[in-house]
Amino acid sequence: MESKALSCPVFGCSLPSIRLTIVKVNRLIAWFLLVMPWLHAAMGTPFLRGLLYDAVLLAVHGVLSLVLFGLPRAHTNHWMVALGLQPMGMTQRNIFLLSGWTIAAGWLYPAAIWLINYMGLTGILGSGFWWIMVPATVVVWITLPVRLIEHISQAAHYATARWRVADASKRTNISILAVVTYLMGQTVNILLWVA
């Protein structure tokens, strides 16, 4: 007998299959984000426009990841998670989610500061807002390069596990290749931009 709790009358399919489809789409977006710098360079996309495209894809990937997997969880020092810092005792899954959260916060915090300033709400929120948001943004941006590399490396590691790559050195090499591919692509784009 079919479970009504898992049926999806709107789409005519089960919720687990919808979730699996969303997971696969999200993984595809993640791979696109990895090679996007090279696509920008090959297509001659201006650097800032390429960043805008990346930001849109990153936002979609982040929202889907948040819906699918939630926020990183820590048993203590929750304020550290908001700053992209890793409290002791986090599981590997939560460390991976933390690296993704830090990347998102690197975009969200400056956007929130700009938006609140643009809307003229700084007087209402008072100086406490600046004393919290500006240092938080600085801390997030300091940790961002490490978290970005960590997130790409761990994502590639999880991908190789799904692909059943048993050799640990091959998994490590694929993770390194993924990080180098992304960083070199961004470097090429920056060099083309300043040239």
Q: Which residues have C-beta within 8 Å of that of residue 55, sequence separation ≥ 6?
A: 107
Is 2 within the bounds of a domain?
no
The answer to whether 185 touches 167, Cβ cutoff 8 Å, is: no
CA torsion angle for 61, 65, 66, 72 (degrees, to 10)? -120
Global pTM? Answer: 0.82
Q: Give 157's Cβ-side CA count (13 Å radius).
A: 13
Is residue 19 one of the residues assigned to a domain? yes
More confident residue, 80 or 11: 80
d(Cα 188, Cα 165) in Å, to the nearest integer? 30
Summarize pLDDT for 161-171 with one digit per residue, the tens.
999 988 989 99
The 3-state DSSP class for residue 71 equals coil
In a domain, 184, yes or no: yes
Residue 5 covered by a domain: no
Q: What is the pLDDT of residue 5?
A: 44
Q: Quickly count helices (H) and strands (E) in the chain.
A: 7, 0
The predicted-structure confidence for 83-128, as pLDDT tens digits, reads as follows 888 888 889 999 999 999 999 999 889 988 888 888 888 777 777 7
Instruction: Name the domain count of the chain.
Output: 1
Residue 13 has what pLDDT? 56
Assess if residue 144 is contained within a domain. yes
Domain of residue 70 covers: 10-194
Residue 4 domain flag: no
